[in-house]
Amino acid sequence: MAKRKRSGFSYLFILLMALGVVAYVFNLGGFKDMVDAARNKEKGYTEEVNNNNGTGNNNSQSDDSNTTTSVKDIKTESLEIPASSYKVTRHAHFALGYDERHEQAAWVAYKLEARETRGRAEREDRFIPDPSVTTRTARHSDYSGSGYDRGHLAPAADFKFSKKAMAESFYMSNMSPQKPRFNRGIWKSLEEQVRENVRKDKAYYIVTGPVLKGGRFRKIGRKTKVSVPKYYYKILLDLEEPEIKAIAFLMKNEGSDKPLSSFVVSIDKVEEITGIDFFPNLPDDLEKKLEASTSLKGWKFD
C-alpha cells in the first residue's frame, strides 16, 4: 500500500510539473507578443513624430509648400513705409525719413494711383524748408551756385492731382543734389515711364531716395552742408492681381544714354547698400520672392 501511494504521488508531481512547463511556455509566448506589440507601437510613434517634424514623405511636404498668402489678406495701410533708423515724417500724400547728417531724405515713400497722374495742379517752383522736420532741413540758397539741381526724390508730376500735394513736393526735404544731365535726363525718363506704367497697372507703392552709405561725400551749401549722393534708387511694388510684381533701379548720379532696363537690380541689393528694409509688412514668403527678383516681365521700361 505504501509503495502504491508513493507511485501515485510521483505521477501527480510529474503531471503538475508538466502543467507548469506548459503554462510557462504559454506565458512566455504571451510575453513575447507583448514585447512585439510594444515595439510596433514605439515604431509607429517614431514614424508619426518624424512625419510631423518634416522628415516623413507625405503630408508635411504638402503643408510646407502651401505658404503663399492671398493678396486680399495683406494689410496695405502704410505698406510703402520702410523699416529704418530714420524718424518718419508724414505729409498729406507722402512720407519720408530725414537724414540730418546728409541734410536730405534717405527715403521718400508714397502710393501712386493711375487717376492721380491726370491732375491739373501746376508747378509753383517754390522751394521751402520742410516745417515738419524738427531738426530743420536745407535751404533753397544752399543749392545756389553749386552746379547741382534741386532734384526731386518724389517727382512733382506725381502730385498733379492736388495743389497741396504739389506744394509739399517742393519741400527741401524732398530735394537732393543731382547733376543736371542726370536730373533732366535719365532720372526724368524713369519718372515719366513709371507714370506710363502705373496707368496700366492701376497703383504702385513707391520708395525712392539717395544712397547715403559708403565713403565720403562732396558737400554743397553755405549755411547747411548737403551731401552729394553718388547713386539713387527707385523701387516699385505692384500688388494688383493677377500679376503681382516688384522692380528696383539703381542709378549713378550722372548723365547716361543707356536704356532704363540696364539699371534694374534686386530690392535685396538696394537693401544691402542702404541698410533700409523695404516693404517689411509683406508676408515673408512673398517679400522674399519679390525682393530677390530682377525680372522685367510685366514692366515696360525702354
91, 93, 102, 152: the active-site residue: 152
Q: How far apart are CA 227 and CA 87, in angstroms?
A: 19
For residue 208, what is its C-alpha cell? 525712392
CB proximity list for 121: less than 8 A, separation 6 or greater: 159, 160, 161, 162, 163, 165, 166
Cα 156 to Cα 166: distance, rounded to the nearest angstrom: 6
Q: Which grid coordinates belong to 251? A: 542709378
* Distance between CA atoms of residues 181 and 188, nearest Å: 10
**Known catalytic residue: 152?**
yes
DSSP assignment letter at 224: S
Q: CB of 261 within 8 A of CB of 301?
A: yes
Query: Residues with catalytic annotation?
Result: 152
